Amino acid sequence: MPDIPEELAQRVSLLSAREKAQLALHLLESLEPAENGAIDEAWRQEAESRLDAVERGEAQTVSMEDVFAKLDLRQKPKRLSS
């Protein structure tokens, strides 16, 4: 009998990043379906609200590099004390 998870992993590796993200979302939803979509709808509204705030100039974006740099600085003292 073939190793189905390994075969699937090989096939998935050929997908685009967008297709992989869609597949991941589908798999996660199949593990824990959101009750009547309320959680998804709340996140959609939050994302729209944040985008609107940026477009109105009420909020600013932060680059991924800056976020990770700040996280690294926060973790550095913990790493040194370990």
Region 6-22 average pLDDT: 92
Q: Check whether 10 has a pLDDT greater than 90.
A: yes
Helices (H), 1-82: 4-12, 17-31, 38-55, 64-81
Q: Check whether 7 has a pLDDT greater than 60.
A: yes
Rounded CA separation 74/28 (Å): 30
Rounded CA separation 45/50 (Å): 9
Q: Check whether 12 has a pLDDT greater than 60.
A: yes
Domain boundaries, the chain: 37-75
Region 4-27 average pLDDT: 90
The tens digit of pLDDT for each residue in 22-79 reads 999 888 878 776 566 788 888 899 999 999 999 999 999 999 999 999 999 888 776 6
User: Six-digit token pair at 59?
Assistant: 């909020």
pLDDT of amino acid 2: 64
